[in-house]
């Protein structure tokens, strides 16, 4: 159940193996695995998967060339990781554990956006996580506000109102993002995929509460909170709070804009973190 693609020149990226893993609950995840060395697993936020995320793919290629094993996987209910039923946080954490297995049994987690909260919860729950690199964790809102936001998303999902759930998930994002999504011919598919974001909403509810009440003090691994040089209001402050909330935390700014990073400097910074 694997497919191998190997670059043809010395300057080409490390070879890529597209493979599958199984979670403890029997869900299947599909992942691209590259390189050899300490493991790094990329945990996407709301929406992205391998086929539509060239930035993460390029970062993983560069990082694999630096001497690591990188895993980019489709989260449950996305891309090539189909999963019916209720995709809650516990089920997603099982998928993260399966991705860590593909990385060699332990890994640094690189979370993006709400994937940061899932990564934090994975470390908190004792998964074999060796470090956390978190890009623009959206923890700027208060715990109660986040809880109410997440509860409304789940209410709309459970009522079958997937478009409404998507709109509510995106309500605090730049309005042009939602307008662009609704104007796209892919809008029905975008709305249908919101079922995979229940885990994001639940993880953000937990993370904002843990950030407020000191619950992150037990996170047992080094954490690097990153924000882009061009970012949204509140993100740098949230990164600083996050770094201060864990025993081994730091916060930095790195090249990036529109809630995303530049692959080359991100890969270089990840390599320093992982190989230190």
For residue 130, the domain's CATH number is 3.40.50.1820
Q: What whole-number distance in Å separates Cα of residue 225 and Cα of residue 133? A: 6
Q: Is 23 exposed, middle or buried (0-12, 13-18, 19+ CB in 10 A)?
A: buried
Residue written as token pair 């990385």: 103
Q: What whole-number distance in Å separates Cα of residue 208 and Cα of residue 116? A: 12
Total domains present in the chain:
1
* Residue 1 binned pLDDT confidence (cut-offs 50, 70, 90): very low
In this predicted structure, the answer to whether residue 10 has a pLDDT above a threshold of 70 is: no
Q: What whole-number distance in Å separates Cα of residue 203 and Cα of residue 65? A: 32
Q: Would you state the pLDDT for residue 255?
A: 96
133 assigned to some structural domain: yes
38 assigned to some structural domain: yes
Q: What is the pTM of this model?
A: 0.93
Q: Would you state the pLDDT for residue 7?
A: 40
Among 32, 166, 11, which residue's Cα sits nearest to residue 102?
A: 32
Among 141, 137, 139, 140, which residue's Cα sits nearest to residue 227?
A: 137
More confident residue, 219 or 6: 219
Continuous segment of H or E residues that includes residue 35: strand 28-35
Continuous segment of H or E residues that includes residue 19: strand 16-22
* Residue 99 binned pLDDT confidence (cut-offs 50, 70, 90): very high
Give helix 198-213 / helix 89-102 axis angle, nearest 10°: 90
241 assigned to some structural domain: yes
Query: Residues 236, 195, 147, 116: is their CA dihedral positive or negative?
Result: negative
Q: What whole-number distance in Å separates Cα of residue 228 and Cα of residue 134? A: 11
Q: What whole-number distance in Å separates Cα of residue 21 and Cα of residue 77? A: 14
153 assigned to some structural domain: no
64 assigned to some structural domain: yes
Q: What whole-number distance in Å separates Cα of residue 236 and Cα of residue 272? A: 21
* Residue 175 binned pLDDT confidence (cut-offs 50, 70, 90): confident
Span 105-134, average pLDDT: 98
Measured CA distances, 13 to 52, 157, 208, 213 (Å): 19, 41, 38, 44
In this predicted structure, the answer to whether residue 6 has a pLDDT above a threshold of 50 is: no
More confident residue, 170 or 76: 76
Size of the chain in residues = 276
Span 75-85, average pLDDT: 96
**Mean of all residue pLDDT scores within the chain:** 93
148 assigned to some structural domain: no
> Which DSSP symbol is given to 78?
B
Tokens found for residue 8: 């043809």
Does residue 103 contact residue 195 with C-beta atoms inside 8 Å? no
> Which residues span the domain enclosing 271?
3-141+215-275
* Residue 12 binned pLDDT confidence (cut-offs 50, 70, 90): low
Q: What whole-number distance in Å separates Cα of residue 196 and Cα of residue 84? A: 10
Residue 152: CB atoms within 10 Å = 16
184 assigned to some structural domain: no
Residue 145: CB atoms within 10 Å = 11
Measured CA distances, 217 to 71, 208, 249, 262 (Å): 28, 13, 10, 30
154 assigned to some structural domain: no
């Amino acid at each position: 159940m694997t497919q191998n693609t190997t670059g043809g020149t010395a300057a080409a990226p490390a070879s890529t193996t597209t493979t599958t893993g199984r979670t403890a609950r029997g869900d299947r995840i599909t992942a691209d695995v590259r390189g050899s060395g300490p493991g790094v697993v990329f945990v996407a936020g709301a929406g992205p998967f391998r086929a539509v995320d060239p930035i993460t793919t390029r970062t993983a290629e560069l990082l694999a060339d630096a001497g690591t094993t990188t895993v980019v996987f489709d989260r449950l209910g996305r891309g090539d990781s189909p999963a019916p039923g209720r995709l809650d946080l516990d089920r997603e954490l099982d998928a993260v554990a399966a991705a860590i297995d593909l990385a060699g049994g332990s890994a640094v987690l690189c979370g993006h956006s709400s994937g940061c909260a899932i990564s934090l919860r994975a470390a908190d729950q004792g998964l074999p996580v060796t470090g956390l690199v978190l890009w623009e964790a959206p923890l700027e809102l208060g715990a109660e506000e986040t809880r109410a936001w997440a509860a409304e998303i789940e209410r709309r999902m459970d009522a079958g109102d997937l478009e409404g759930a998507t709109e509510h998930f995106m309500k605090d994002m730049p309005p042009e993002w939602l307008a662009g999504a609704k104007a796209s011919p892919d809008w029905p598919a975008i709305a249908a995929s919101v079922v995979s974001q229940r885990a994001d909403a639940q993880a953000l509810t937990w993370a904002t509460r843990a950030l407020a009440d000191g619950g992150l003090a037990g996170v047992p691994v080094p954490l690097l909170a990153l924000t882009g040089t061009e970012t949204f209001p509140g993100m740098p402050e949230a990164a600083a709070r996050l770094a201060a909330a864990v025993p081994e935390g730091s916060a930095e700014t790195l090249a990036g804009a529109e809630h995303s990073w530049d692959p080359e400097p991100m890969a270089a910074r990840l390599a320093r973190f992982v190989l230190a």
